[in-house]
Amino acid sequence: MNKIKLLFFATIRDRAGTKQMDLEIPDNLTIQELKDKLSSDYPKMAQSMKSVLMTINREYAFDEQIVPQNAEIGMFPPVSGG
């Protein structure tokens, strides 16, 4: 198992009800699989998982990336500007 730290920001923090969480996940889980797991385990966050921006150790992450051991995962709502 892989122990990671999730950090929630903005509206995702509101839906999660906390600013951070430690979570044990299976080894070799991808970012997409992590999103699917969070959607299933925490239904209030399911809508956010469709458009969430994620980081691994403060670098942007893509759905196919494997979550490394002891990673810090940041979760941000999409940002728009003008």
Q: How confident is the model at residue 80 (pLDDT cuts 50, 70, 90)?
A: low
Q: Rounded distance, CA 12 to CA 8, Å?
A: 6
List b or e across 18-40, with b for residues whose CB sees 16 or more CB atoms inside 10 angstroms. eeeeebebeeebebebbbeebbe
Q: Model's pTM, two decimal places?
A: 0.92
Question: H-helix or E-strand containing 23?
Answer: strand 20-25
Band the pLDDT of 82: cuts 50, 70, 90: low
Map residue 47 onto helix, strand or coil. Answer: coil
Over residues 41-77, the pLDDT tens digits come to 999 999 999 999 999 999 999 999 999 999 999 999 9
Which CATH code fits 2-76? 3.10.20.30
Each domain of the chain, given as residue ranges in start order, spans: 2-76
Does residue 55 contact residue 61 with C-beta atoms inside 8 Å? yes
When pLDDT is cut at 50, 70 and 90, the band that residue 78 belongs to is confident
